[in-house]
Amino acid sequence: MSKSFVELNNVKLRYSEDDELALETTNMKIKKGEFIAVVGPSGCGKSSLLKLVSGLMPPSEGSVIVDDQEVTGPLKIVGMAFQNPTLLPWRTTLDNVLLPMEIVKPHRHRLRKHRAEYEERARKLLATVGLEGHEDKYPWELSGGMQQRASLCRSLIHEPDLLMLDEPFGALDAFTREELWDILQNLWMIKPFTVILVTHDLREAAYLADTIYVMSKRPGKILVERENTLPRPRDQETTFTQPFTDLVHELRNQIRDVRET
Amino acid sequence: MKKKTNLSKATPWISAIALFVLWELIVRIFNIPPYVLPTPSESIIVGWQFHEAIWMHAYHTLYTTLAGFAIAVVFGVVLGALVGSSRAIYDAANPLLVGFNSVPKVALVPVLVMWFGIGTVPAIITAFLISFFPIVVNVATGLATLEPELRDVLRSLGAKRLDILIKVGFPRAMPYFFASLKVAITLAFVGSVISETVASNVGVGYLMLSASSKFNMPLVFAGLLVIAVMGIAMYEIFNVIERRSTKWANRGNQNT
């Protein structure tokens, strides 16, 4: 279990050759099934980190290793969700969730024949995030929070080994956001997958992650790696306990130091 | 509610009739001679007298227009897909397309006549040449404005370029495509009538040219009206097709 699933070795990133560094020498080791969060001021290259790990962007220097293989092109096993739910408006919620199945092997070749089985699976997943009865609605008939739930389902339907979340709850109201934290934690606890969550919400990081990385502003660099040993499952009560507020406080101070330097 | 929809259905008819009445009154009040501007009633009466000839010519014009338009749709979709999905092709093709679109197509008719003789073929080609441009632009725009996040989602699932094009690109481009059809069909009429006027012995364009050479202005205007009616009818057909096939894009007013 101590073997790392994702490894960044001395990774640097420039957007173009004569550009300044977007990401300064970065080293990271993420275990299989670990939930990590990356926090930092905006524009610090948090999202670039996701693109590097998922292979959508090659590093300028250094190497990214996922599952013992060096990443050279887009990985094929990644689930992704963004602040913008990016659902397809011409598809029902159910069909949106099934989209990865039309692309990921071996499902894409099985989908047509075993459609009922896949639909069942999607319905089950939608039910776990509280979207039962909304499967046949179109995205524009759903509220922002419901769209984000569907987007989360889409990123998980093919049971990815690696889930990338780029501020997925950033545009939601506080109540919906905290409800979705619980949903995500639940799904993750039932069947752990490796998660990289990018966020600027420190409470979100403290609530969800096993390990929290604090990044500096541009050029981005990981300044602090903080274990979060708060017991799981964490719930609303946890957020009012002393250890939780201490952790958030500590992170807050680190971010302030980053911003002032 | 019902009253309101009835009224909004009647509005286009009311405005059309009002225009004809105004036209009729102006011609009568100012006593404009018919060889300058005939009254609409006179045009319609003359149109009825010649209805067999008009029918034949109109049918021919409709046929050339639709033939040119059909070629434009196929060509426009293919070229639009290429231009919209590749930055390199966009850079290579864009100046050429804009340049070509700026050339008045009436200037090309003599060239086409030299190559294909007078008649139907240059009319079809002119209709095609004038109407493919908006289709190319709209299809390309629909494909090129794909959200980068969505592309990332699909690529990180192992989607190929073609997967992205089929699953997301084309459905997303559909509203743009259908909107361009409405513009393209009316342009196609312009193209075919221009060509018929310059170089043909059949079609509404030819009919109007020969009528004006005999100072039969009411017949010229009858021809214009026929083209306008055909244009409106075709536009409406594509309007309905658009609304039916891309309901999701008009979600704001789905109850009307």
- A74 CB neighbours in chain B (<8 A) are 155-156, 158
Nearest residue of chain B to residue A71 (CA atoms):
B156
Same domain, residue pair A59 and A89: no
Residue B166 has pLDDT above 60, yes or no: yes
Statement to judge: residues A94 and A67 lie in one domain:
no
Put simply, the answer to whether B158 touches A103 (Cβ < 8 Å) is: yes
What mean pLDDT is reported for chain B? 88
Which positions in chain A touch B172 (Cβ < 8 Å)? 88, 90
pLDDT band at B254 (very low <50, low <70, confident <90, very high): very low
* pLDDT value for B146: 84
Question: Which of A139, A159, A179 is at the close of a domain?
Answer: A159
The reply to whether A152 and A204 lie within a common domain is no
CA-nearest of A57, A59, A75 to A27 is A59
Q: What is the pLDDT of residue B4?
A: 63
A107 within 8 A of A121, measured Cβ to Cβ: no
Per-residue pLDDT reduced to its tens digit, A188-238 = 888 888 999 999 888 898 899 999 998 887 778 888 888 888 888 888 888
Q: Which DSSP string corresponds to B96-116?
A: HHHHHHHS-GGGTHHHHHHHH
Distance separating alpha carbons of residues B175 and A132, to the nearest angstrom: 30
pLDDT in tens, A155-168: 989 888 899 998 88
Residues 6+ apart with CB under 8 A from B207: B53, B54, B57, B219, B223
Q: Are residues A130 and A165 in the same domain?
A: no
Interchain proximity B154–A103, CB inside 8 Å: yes
Mean pLDDT of A111-127: 87
Mean pLDDT, all residues of chain A: 86
Q: Pick A80's closest partner by Cβ from B147, B156, B246.
A: B156
> Do B92 and B83 touch, CB atoms closer than 8 A?
no
Query: Kind and range of the H or E element at A244?
Result: helix A242-260
pLDDT in tens, A1-48: 457 888 888 888 888 777 777 788 888 888 888 999 998 877 777 888
The two three-digit tokens of residue B144, written as one number: 């090129």
- Arithmetic mean of pLDDT, B1-21: 81
Q: What is the mean pLDDT of residues A172-186?
A: 87
CATH number at residue A64: 3.40.50.300
Taking CB atoms and an 8 Å cutoff, what residues of chain A touch B147?
84, 86
pLDDT at B251: 64
The pLDDT tens digits of the residues spanning B81-119 come to 999 888 899 889 889 999 998 999 888 999 999 999 888
Q: What is the pLDDT of residue A68?
A: 84
Q: Which domain range does residue A68 map to?
A: 1-77+161-261
Given this model, what pLDDT does residue B86 score?
84
- Taking the CA of residue A80 and the nearest CA in chain B, the distance in Å comes to 6
Task: Indicate whether A57 and A3 sit together in one domain.
Answer: yes
Among A121, A141, A159, where does a domain finish?
Answer: A159
Contact A82 B157 (CB under 8 A): no
What ipTM, to 2 d.p.? 0.79
Contact A78 B156 (CB under 8 A): yes
Answer yes or no: do A254 and A151 share one domain.
no
In order of their start, the domains of chain B are 46-248 (1.10.3720.10)
| Helix ranges (DSSP H) in chain B | 2-29, 40-49, 51-85, 87-102, 109-116, 120-144, 148-155, 161-164, 170-198, 204-213, 217-245
Question: Of A74, A114, A119, A128, whose CA–CA distance to A97 is shortest?
Answer: A119
Q: Which residue of A has its CA nearest to B146?
A: A86
Are residues A82 and B248, on separate chains, in Cβ contact within 8 Å?
no
pLDDT at A42: 74
Q: Is the pLDDT of residue B255 over 60?
A: no
Taking only the tens place, the pLDDT of each residue in B204-239 is 999 999 998 988 899 999 999 999 999 999 999 998
pLDDT bucket at B74, cuts 50 / 70 / 90: very high
A89 with A71, same domain: the answer is no
Report pLDDT for A2.
Answer: 54
Residues 6+ apart with CB under 8 A from A118: A98, A101, A107, A110, A111
Count of A-B CB contacts under 8 Å? 65
If asked whether residues A188 and A242 sit together in one domain, one would say yes
Q: Which one-letter DSSP state was computed for residue A230?
A: -
* Residues of chain B that touch chain A, judged by Cβ-Cβ distance less than 8 Å: 147, 149-150, 152-159, 163, 167-168, 171-172, 174, 246, 248-249, 251
Contact A212, A226 (CB under 8 A): yes
The residue from A124, A159, A194 where one domain ends is: A159
Q: What pLDDT does residue A197 have?
A: 93
pLDDT value for A187: 87
Q: Are residues A219 and A248 in the same domain?
A: yes
Q: A98: which chain B residues are within 8 Å (Cβ-Cβ)?
A: none
Query: Looking at the DSSP assignment, which residues form a beta bridge with residue A37?
Result: A197, A212
Same domain, A151 and A136: yes
Name the residue facing B147 among A55, A80, A86 (closest C-beta).
A86
Residues A122 and A182 in one domain: no
**Given an 8 Å threshold on Cβ–Cβ distance, is A140 in contact with B248?**
yes
Task: Tell whether A163 is within 8 A of chain B (Cβ).
Answer: no
Q: Tell me which chain A residue has its CA closest to the CA of residue B157.
A: A76
**Is the same domain home to A99 and A195?**
no
Q: Calculate mean pLDDT across residues A166-190.
A: 87
pLDDT of residue A1: 45
Distance CA A40, CA A44 (A): 7
Check CB contact under 8 Å for A80 and B152: yes
